[in-house]
Amino acid sequence: MKNVKVSPSILSADFNDLRKEIKSIEEAGAEYLHFDVMDGHFVDNISFGIPVLKSIAKTHKMINDVHIMISEPKRYAKRFLDAGADILTFHYEAVKNDEEVFEIIDIIHKEGKLAGISIKPNTPTDVVYKFLGELDLVLVMSVEPGFGGQAFMRNALNKISALRKYIDENKLECLIEVDGGINEETAKECRDMGVDILVAGSYIFKADNYKKQIEALRK
Ligand code: DX5
Ligand code: ZN
């Protein structure tokens, strides 16, 4: 069984002590840092953006896993890449048409970075199949995007399983990431469906011992 990677979402971190929080999750063994950008338009919340990413991106060795929950992702993609995104994941529901999806993937690949697409809980997996050959990552949302601390939506499990099947049958490289309501129980269910990367915010940051939480997601 491959070992799943963990991407703590700093949306749930203590922003009054961000340097310490980033150092702690890195020491706790996280391979990725999940950076949740919310614009108050595509989602009903506003989080943080380019200046914050710029200030933290090079202060650690984890992969900057940037999840942009914003309208007009094509307009902002390059600025997030320049600010330090290693993976830039935009929302299928935020683009105008299929052609624009390929355009954004090209913008990301031109900078030598990894391109991800995210689908909300009510978006069916088959809308992204046509892009998977070009994509490096597909992010299955197991909550409605906008907030940490929500309950896991179980329909994510068959979406992960369908994507796993499609990616394996077509011998594609695309990674599968799941995001929202991930804890020890839901992490196991997602691992059993073949997920590659687990995003977790509140499950990790609500605890004192980040290493114990991260290891509990992997076992
Ligand atoms: C929600 C974000 C998630 C969220 C995860 O819109 O994309 O990354 O921060 O937080 P938890 O793990 O607490 O659901
Ligand atoms: Zn996220």
**DSSP string for 38-65:** EBSSSSS-B---HHHHHHHTTSSSSEEE
Please work out whether the CB of residue 177 comes within 6 Å of at least one atom of ligand 1.
no
User: Active-site residue 36, yes or no?
Assistant: yes
Q: Which of 35, 43, 66, 179 to mutate to test ligand 1, by most ligand atoms within 8 A of the CB atom?
A: 179
**What's the 168 CA to ligand 2 centre distance in angstroms?**
25
Question: What is d(CA 113, CA 5) in angstroms, rounded to the nearest whole number?
Answer: 18
Whether the CB of 182 sits within 6 Å of ligand 1: yes
- Residues near 36 by Cβ (< 8 Å), separated by ≥ 6? 9, 10, 11, 47, 67, 69, 148, 201
Contact 116 CB / ligand 1 (< 6 Å): no
Our answer to whether residue 126 is catalytic in this structure is no
List own/partner pairs for 19-22 with CB under 8 A and 24 or more apart. 19/59, 21/205, 22/56, 22/59, 22/60, 22/62
Contact residues for 55 (Cβ-Cβ < 8 A; gap 6+): none
12 lines ligand 1 (CB under 6 A): yes
Which among 93, 98, 39 has a CA at the least distance from the CA of 70? Answer: 39
User: From the CA of 8, which ligand is nearest?
Assistant: 1
From ligand 1's centre to the CA of 180, what distance in Å?
A: 5
List of the chain residues with pLDDT < 50: none
Phi and psi at residue 204, to the nearest 5°? -85, -55
Helices 184-192 and 210-218: crossing angle in degrees, nearest 10, is: 30
Pocket of ligand 1 contains residue 8 by CB under 6 Å: no
Name the catalytic one among 17, 36, 39, 82: 36
Q: Are 165 and 205 in contact (CB under 8 A)?
A: no
pLDDT of res. 219: 87
What's the pLDDT score for residue 86?
99
Question: Residue 208: phi, psi to the nearest 5?
Answer: -85, -40
pLDDT at 217: 98
Phi-psi region of 29 (alpha: psi -120 to 50; beta: other; left: phi over 0): left
Distance 199 CA to ligand 2 centre (A): 7
| Cα(178)–Cα(75) distance, integer angstroms | 25
Q: What is the pLDDT of residue 1?
A: 57
45 lines ligand 1 (CB under 6 A): no
Mean pLDDT of the residues in the chain:
98
